Structure 1
Amino acid sequence: MKHIWLFLKGLAMGAADVVPGVSGGTIAFITGIYTELLDSIKSINLNALKILFRDGVPAFWKAINGTFLLTLLSGILIALITLARGIHYLLLNHPIWVWSFFFGLIVASCWHIGKEIPRWRWQELAALAAGAIIAAWISVASPTQIEATPMIVFLAGSVAICAMILPGISGSFILLLMGLYEPILGAVKALDLGIMGLFAVGAGLGLMLFSRLLSWLLHHYQSVMFALLTGFMAGSLVKVWPWKETLLTRINSKGVEVPFIQSNILPDSATTAVLALLLAGAGLGLVLLLEKVAKDD
């Protein structure tokens, strides 16, 4: 049963990572597996290889927490492959409903992480403000267009994965800012193994390096890091505000006109606002459910 719940958490992380503005790291945090995830990734090192050659596969698998990583990664990959098309369709055709749900989810996540901080000192408050400012700035930054060459795809994987494991900073949105969201998502939907492979190698390298830094910070400066991560998520609310006005459009790889630069506006009708509130409430409820599941594990 434990592994089934872990697989479902991976599915939720993968689904969140598809949406530009939402991070799979947020899901990992509210489900109580964030620190274990970072520590498990960090354990894949030269010492683990020594254990493999000296003591065999079972000892190596245990040293890297292999069952945990494989189960979680399976859920993430299946979500990316199976849900990418559906979420992409909803974002294009029903964006207010998608953003409303995730807005509620992120608000609840801020509360969830914030209450884990035992004492709010000036250090925590400064970290909270810094995280909110950085995430908000990233959220309103103007996208660019970069050609998806092999080297760029590799580097994009390294950068995006760092954002994907940070609650509140979306790897998908980083790709959008770089002008690479459409090519990468298209490669996933088309199962283009060349682009997917290059992106995966870059992501693996970035993950190995960045997870070590994050793990060390969480173990040595937990309260400050929790405050910083809460700030990241609070700042990302600028991006996931449901009502937007499109200032500039672009033509995607299929020849369809899609939003490129948008600004936040007020709700355009009471009916829309009420339904958006209900969906935001559903996102909040999901966080409470995930929190309960994490406590029961």
Structure 2
Amino acid sequence: MKLILAQPRGFCAGVVRAIDIVERALAKHEAPVYVRHEIVHNRYVVENLKAKGARFVEELADVPAGATTIFSAHGVSRAVEADAASRRLNVLDATCPLVTKVHNQGQRYSDLGRTVILIGHAGHVEVEGTLGRISGPVHLVEDRDDVERLDLADDTPIAYVTQTTLSVDDTRATIEAIKGRFSDVIGPETRDICYATQNRQTAVRKLCQHVELLLVVGAANSSNSNRLREIGAECGIPSYLVADGRDIDSEWLAGKHTIGITAGASAPDVLVDDVIAALAKLEPIEIEALQGIEEKITFRLPPELLEVS
């Protein structure tokens, strides 16, 4: 059985930074350190940090006054930020810089007097944070049908921003619908879209040209991991989302000789290795890495953690 690995796959710079912030905070302040929401959407990562002393909460009300508190990579609303300040929490912000960039873009557009349209998934924690960062009119849409249902005049000055775990390909039809309906529309350039989301989706499309089956390593609540599986299916390849090697069903492999493997941006290499090991127990394997983009982007840590190793 031949295994072909997508490139790039797995952790992006924003996830690396967020996990590093939690680990350094634990080293500096000692346990417990409180994290609002899962730091990234991966159960293995969360459980590993719990074992080191991190405590994950959904509401700041569950954090003792004055405690060290970390905002997850997905970002938070201004209301959450204000609540933390009022309770004198020692906050470390692990929001991905690319998410912060979306927040800032949205606010700049609003300050220009434009109605902001956020393209994203209702209920996603990043979307909830972004909606709560923009003062002024903002409307959430998931697809072109939502655009048509907006109760706005067609000459309304519009600006759009997107959830970072959506790629250029994911949002193209919705952006076209916005531009088709409204006469005055501006939005971010293509290069402002999250590099990690786009790179991983492009890599999966390339991978699907060479394989008979696709395994996506990632969590069920990971938006970008689910999208990678969907892309595999759109390419006509049987595609499955697996948390680790235990999720593999040997029946999937019947008659398949070339298996593609990728991982969502919040899935660590150790889980990819676990999937490979599980496949190796079923039959002899040969591993090949597909050529692709080598990501070298890194994001700076908060200044107060730079000296902590």
User: Which TM-score band applies after superposition, normalised by the shorter structure?
Assistant: under 0.3
TM-score w.r.t. the length of structure 1 is 0.24
Which is strand-richer, 1 or 2?
A: 2
Q: Report 1 or 2 for greater relative contact order, CA contacts < 8 Å, sequence distance ≥ 6.
A: 1
Rg comparison, structure with higher value: 2
TM-score w.r.t. the length of structure 2 is 0.23
Which is helix-richer, 1 or 2?
A: 1
